[in-house]
Amino acid sequence: MSCEGCSGAVNRALAKVEGITYEVKLKEQQVNVKGDVPYDTILEKIKKTGKE
């Protein structure tokens, strides 16, 4: 993630996932996710955006 468009895409993808809370930190190029959804599910949602 290197721009607001990238972080926006990740935000939109994660907003569709029920059972989590998340924070996208563009400056640190980091996403913090908490919840009961498996790691692989979250990772797949982020990868589908094309923004890693």
Rounded to two decimals, what is the model's pTM? Answer: 0.82
Please state at what angle helix 4-15 crosses helix 39-48, rounded to 10 degrees: 130
* CATH number of the domain where residue 26 is located: 3.30.70.100
- Pairwise pLDDT comparison (52 vs 38), residue with the higher score: 38
Residue with tokens 């990238």: 6
* Domain total of the chain: 1
pLDDT in tens, 4-29: 888 999 999 999 999 999 999 989 99
39: domain range? 4-48
Residue 15 makes CB contacts below 8 A (sequence gap 6+) with none
